[in-house]
Amino acid sequence: MSWPNLPRLFVLLVGLPASVALVHGFRAPKDEAKDGAPKVTSSHPERAASVLRVPHATGALVADGMLDDPAWLRAPARTGVFVGSDGEPGRPHAEGRLLWNDTDLYIALYAADRDIRSSTAPPDGPLWFGGDAFELSFDVPGGQRKIEISPDGKITDARLGPQGWDYAWQSGVRLGHDVDGTINDTSDEDEEWILEIAVPLSAIGLNGKKGERIGLRIRRCDSNPDGTRVCTGWGDGDSGAVLALD
């Protein structure tokens, strides 16, 4: 398993107890700040959302978790390193990359993880309880769409409307996942996990036209054996973030 298009590097994850975790294929892109935080396009980030321009994929994409389709090796949009509530680069390391085609928004998510844990809840259950997860929150007219995914590919999706969250709603996402480690086994040290997600544009109110925009927040939460939980994210501040189909 590797994060595409970049040489394999070994990065020390600050704050992990006397150990070095391996982060494959990460290097801060030129348009990121030196500390690895996502670049904010506005000169007043506290008042305006950052805009991430997502390129149209050239060639086919298959959501299998391998990230070996040629489109990923070109120039996908990059979130940069996810940050904590203090605005500093988060630990454990997480980041995302995005592309779109005429039918789907593709999101690749990477998580370094010394102890990969997955909730035992069934799909459309509370995956955040006792497990690691990525959460996608889309701002659509009249409400929100939330998609939460565990390392082993369980999906909880919900639609927010006037009556609250509707967990019967199905997003229709397709995904592949790849895990470098053993899930829910504390006897060894894990390394990382990757999700490759295809979100139907129709499920989030998009028509697949260049110039369309949608608000998006991505969170990664890491659960520890002692019950503590650390969450980092992209676009997770008060102003949020916006995707622009380019």
pLDDT band at 95, cuts 50/70/90?
A: very high
Q: Structural domain boundaries of the chain? A: 51-245
**What six digits make up the tokens of 74?**
């070109």
pLDDT in tens, 145-164: 999 999 999 999 999 988 88
pTM (predicted TM-score): 0.82
Cβ contact 243:160 at 8 Å: no
Please tell me whether the peptide bond between 92 and the residue prior to it is cis, using omega within 30 degrees of 0.
yes
Phi and psi at 72, nearest 5°, equal: -70, -20
Rounded Cα distance between 144 and 146, Å, is: 6
CATH number, domain 51-245, options 1.10.510.10, 2.60.40.1190, 3.30.110.40, 3.40.50.720: 2.60.40.1190
pLDDT, tens only, 187-238: 999 999 999 999 999 999 999 999 999 999 999 999 988 888 999 999 987 6
